[in-house]
Structure 1
């Protein structure tokens, strides 16, 4: 549960905020003055502070400066009764996540808090990594910027590390290409952490989750009143990343209109908020990631070729997990240790059968799938060794490219076992098998995005769900 400190000398406002946020799953502490607030900060760790700008004993600007000096990992949102754009810009530069004016709207407050907590998590990751080098030589050391990034011993892993070391000290834009779950964001963080920008923000954006209507505001920010619903000034991700690195994941999902606006910003290194007149100079390194073939997207008219060439100063191809050999075991051991710390367990090793299964399995979900499997196995293991029974059945029975699911009935919970599959020597079953293979192939091509898969297959989503269920692909 996230801890939030509300600082406001208006008791009614603090009480209403406290009740609302408590109902939404936060642990809330309130303070009516700056002095009381810092007593709480001394005794408890807070993820976020909501601070009224006008207080009897101080103001939000001074509280922000002190929190950033003494508790840099704590996020701050300033709340005030009036709007002042110059003040907003100053507060953002001092480290505030956002600036909200009264009256407060519940949905807006909740959305801003959730985004601030997500952003603070990313910044905390960066801070924890750079802290290990403070006070040491100014020469950058090799760092691991994410708990999911494991330096392996395979040829593919060594080549990946070499490319990171090669491009990190430069200001080149980078395209990271690879299947879903291969660790593209971890590599982007590693590039950032081994660059001269490592003390500046690393801001990640999931372009796949952006609608056309929201993308412009998320990228460039907006001024208060610039469109319906723009209740406050918003700082865009380009401004937030200024001086540091902006990571754009699933870039191919952006609409053509947003790509055009993005091209202008990347070319001119300036950004103008929606509804604003002032252009803001940018010094941002851009790293993009995709699991799609951008060259094919260009030929299909879905991605701008000029934007592609702006980004493609250096490219890194992420090797799928199945091509990394015994690195799979190194990563599994790494994730097992992390799971031990998370669960308070002491599972120290894998049985020979488990090792064989881990090395044999195809890992379509790559590193993300491996991490989830190991966390599950650690939870199910009572002794010091992970046994095959702690693995999902499709993995523990997967040897030489064949799973038990290929030739045996499936069992789910207490359901009645399915009857044996009929002979596959008639046209009906041949057609069913062809349909299964076609649906599975398309789902993999679009990273199991059902909307895209349905469009490619020329059927609606409901039909796709029904066919997936009929073919056990929903499992």
Structure 2
């Protein structure tokens, strides 16, 4: 039986959480004092500890208590609770090794999900009942059809970071748990979603992928839930939404943090009740789906900043997968390069020459801010520019990969004095600077520049900035 300890100086919170979690089959103890909690930890082992951040103990608060718990029982998952959320405190505590930072009061569903997530995370770390993943025994490329209707690939890495990612996918895939996939732009979050679906019991049913970043608040409800004919101006016929399309299968919501607060509210009800009501309809429709969402920003921070509903976050966050950036998977770079070269050769219908040592050195020294997506594009470029079977050299590389990168600038067509060109150059450089600052997270870049995401895409196209 899994054991839980509740530490809070408000006895009614201890009683409430004890009642909720005991009904779920857990053995639950509680304490209103941090110092007493430490004595209890010496005598008993706990799988999960809920700890209030602002304890009334004079010498010990939630931060100190969590550090002591980490020292005494490193395997215990610590969930810090607070009624006064602070982003800086959250970041500090997470760096100290706590499992989660949550805002009080907690309802029953949130408390249960937090425990389930903590225990599942422990199972991943312990690799319980899982055979080791050996990428050499499987095809290194998993092919799937992306939401843009294109054939895309996921490459299985061989490094420790990649193996941990594979283990998490293998563990969570057979369940019906909702999953949040976090990672920088271009790391392959959609590929991970497809891998989870392909290894699940829903694999013979559809996986429907929606890019929430491209949905306006007006269109989001229609795209997700569908609409009836005449429901609004321009609704000349009925439309089936993504939830109905994914019935029996998996719904993947990419960049979910871009949904408006109103759409988040509707989404929460649908996930809780598993029913939808198309726009303009009075009829509710039952849907059987698994939810997988992705974001290139920290949704927990978005919750603390009031940009994302906390109840929706806890409903979705039954398990989280962090997809590592390419710069943290350098040991997999040779495998990625070899695999993508083969893929590009198939696309071009011809064999390309070998990669020279200076190409491989440039790849190894580059930080890859665009991650896997950027590497794929670079491989397409250098193979396209190379002659058949001649060695591919550094002269084929894009400018940013050269050992001594030159200043990026927009060519001035009509002279330095042309005001339009000066403005264009300044805008080009500013957008590049901001994108590099946020590691090419377009949503975050748009917010920093006080423009919407669509305007940023238009400017990237106009200025010929290819990402």
Cα distance between partner residues in 1 of 2:307 and 2:248: 30
SS in 2 for 1:158: helix
Shift of 1:410: 6.0
1:362 aligns with 2:367: yes
User: 1:318 aligned to 2:323?
Assistant: yes
Indicate whether 1:332 and 2:337 are aligned.
yes
Matched residue, 1:392: 398
CA distance in 1, matches of 2:436, 2:397: 25
CA change 1:436–1:203 in 2 (3 A) is closer
Partner of 1:50: none
State the SS of the aligned residue for 2:330: coil
1:284 corresponds to which residue?
289
Whole-angstrom distance in 2 between the partners of 1:413 and 1:142: 41
Number of the residue aligned with 2:356: 351
Q: Is the 8 A contact 1:168 1:195 kept in 2?
A: yes
Deviation at 1:326, TM superposition (A): 2.8
Q: Does 2:305 correspond to 1:305?
A: no
Q: Secondary structure of the equivalent of 1:358?
A: helix
Question: Which residue pairs with 1:49 in the alignment?
Answer: none
What is the TM-score of this pair, normalised by structure 2?
Answer: 0.60
CA shift for structure 1 position 195: 0.7
Alignment partner, residue 160 of structure 1:
165
Matched with 1:404 is 405
Query: Aligned partners of 1:474, 1:240: CA distance in 2, in Å?
Result: 32
Residue 404 (structure 1) shift:
2.6
- Residue 265, structure 1, aligned to residue 260, structure 2: no
Cα shift at 1:441: 5.4
Superposed displacement of residue 293, structure 1:
1.0
| 1:34-82: CA deviation from partner (whole Å, max 9, x where unpaired) | xxxxxxxxxxxxxxxxxxxxxxxxxxxxxxxxxxxxxxxxxxxxxxxxx
After superposition, the C-alpha distances for 1:318-377 in whole angstroms (9 at most, x for unaligned) are 100011013122112211111111111201531111111111110000011000000011
- Structure 2 distance, partners of 1:202, 1:361, is 35
**C-alpha spacing 1:348/1:192, structure 2 compared with 1 (3 Å):** farther
Note the alpha carbon deviations across 1:401-443, whole angstroms, 9 max, x for none. xx432xxx6687898999xxxxxxxxxxxxxxxx999745555
- Could you tell me which runs of 5 or more consecutive residues in structure 2 were left unpaired when the two chains were aligned: 1-137, 145-151, 417-429
Q: Which residue of 2 aligns with 1:144?
A: 142
Structure-to-structure mapping, 1:51-450, within 5 angstroms: 144-146=142-144, 147-347=152-352, 349-384=354-389, 385-395=391-401, 397-398=402-403, 403-405=404-406, 439=434, 442-444=437-439, 446-447=441-442
Q: CA deviation at 1:177?
A: 0.2
Whether the 8 Å contact between 1:410 and 1:417 is mirrored in structure 2 is no
State the distance in 2 between where 1:148 and 1:417 align: 45
Count of aligned pairs between the two proteins: 306
Once residues 431 and 251 of structure 2 are traced to their aligned partners in structure 1, the CA distance between those partners, rounded to angstroms, is 40
| SS of equivalent to 1:235 | coil
Closer, same or farther: CA 173–221 of 1 in aligned 2, 3 Å: same
Q: 1:274 to 1:177 in 2, by over 3 A?
A: same
Q: What is the match of residue 117 of structure 2?
A: none
Give the 3 Å change call, closer, same or farther, for CA 290–411 of structure 1 in structure 2. closer
* 8 Å contact kept, 1:329–1:359: no
Whether the 8 Å contact between 1:145 and 1:189 is mirrored in structure 2 is no
Asked if 2 retains the 8 angstrom alpha-carbon contact of 1:179 and 1:291, the reply is: yes
Distance 1:382 1:235, change over 3 A: same
Task: Report the equivalent of 1:452.
Answer: 447
CA separation in 2, counterparts of 1:142 and 1:437?
34
Task: Give the corresponding residue for 1:119.
Answer: none
Higher relative contact order (CA 8 A, sep 6+): 2
Q: Deviation string for 1:418-475 (max 9, x for gaps)?
A: 9xxxxxxxxxxxxxxxx9997455553743765322129xxxx89xx89x99xx9999
The range that moved more, 343-352 or 333-342, is: 343-352
State the distance in 2 between where 1:319 and 1:451 align.
23
Distance, in Å, in 2 between the alignment partners of 1:348 and 1:260 is: 54
Q: TM-score, normalised by structure 1?
A: 0.59
Distance across 2 between alignment mates of 1:299 and 1:338: 43
Aligned residues of 1:335 and 1:371 also touching (Cα < 8 A)? yes
Give the distance between the partners of 1:291 and 1:393, measured in 2 at CA: 26
